[in-house]
Amino acid sequence: MSYKNILYEVRGPMALITINRADKHNAISLATLDELQQAAAVAAADDEVRVLTFTGAGDRSFASGSDLEEVLHRDLKKALEPIVQGLADQLERTPKPTIAAINGICMGGGLEVALGCDLRIASKTARFATPEGKLGIIPGGGATARLPRIVGRGWGMEMLLMGEPIDAERALQIGLVTRLTEPDELLPEAQRMAEHLASFAPFVPRSMKAMVNFGMEASLAGALMLEKYAQGALVQTEDKHEGISAFLGKRDPQFKGR
């Protein structure tokens, strides 16, 4: 499948999906969103792919936000459609782990795409903001819901209401990202993370992701009960037997996904 606004390649267990509009700071147009959703679906269906990683072309921007030339002409009907929300929701529902490798400006709709990913890592040059208030609008891709859940109410309100950019160090301090790298080490670090995740039994990251996503919205009692049922299912797999046997035998496990 060919794309105009993104690049798609498989690197070992990782599908690398790159927003390829560097001349526009990787602003996310509707066509770009459509291609991102298509690529995410392709990667999710590929048995060889274990992790989906998103990044931006060039070294200046992950994604600067939604394409403002399109937003300028967006009416109420279009605004009520789950545009960026749809992609972020898709990434949350995708059973495979997702990584946002943030290589520069990550603002507005670009930040909302990253918030839909399970893991966020950044180069030390990255900057983050939700600047929509300065444009007479509010975020529409999920930031008002996801950002406070990730960084807490205090920093969520700070970023959303003030609209001022924060640097990579501050993003690490508040938990918006979990790892910082030098710019040229960002994708190698994402590759290392993908290969590490691929070394687990296939059911493990998928089950872990499902448990966290459900548990964040469920009652504590409900989340704990589902966790025990999920663990009960996994202890009956061949991979569980192989994993423990390999550990006791001091050898590398050979997982088969069953």
Active site residues: 112, 132
Long-range contacts formed by 178-182: CB under 8 A, 24+ apart: 178/119, 178/120, 178/121, 179/121, 179/122, 180/121, 180/122, 180/123, 180/124, 181/121, 181/122, 181/123, 181/124, 182/123, 182/124
- Can you tell me the distance from the alpha carbon of 50 to that of 19, in angstroms, rounded to the nearest whole number? 20
Closest-CA residue to 198 (of 85, 124, 97, 116): 97
- CA 179 vs. chain centroid, Å, equals 14
- Beta-carbon neighbour count of residue 171 at 10 Å? 24
- End-to-end Cα distance, the chain: 30
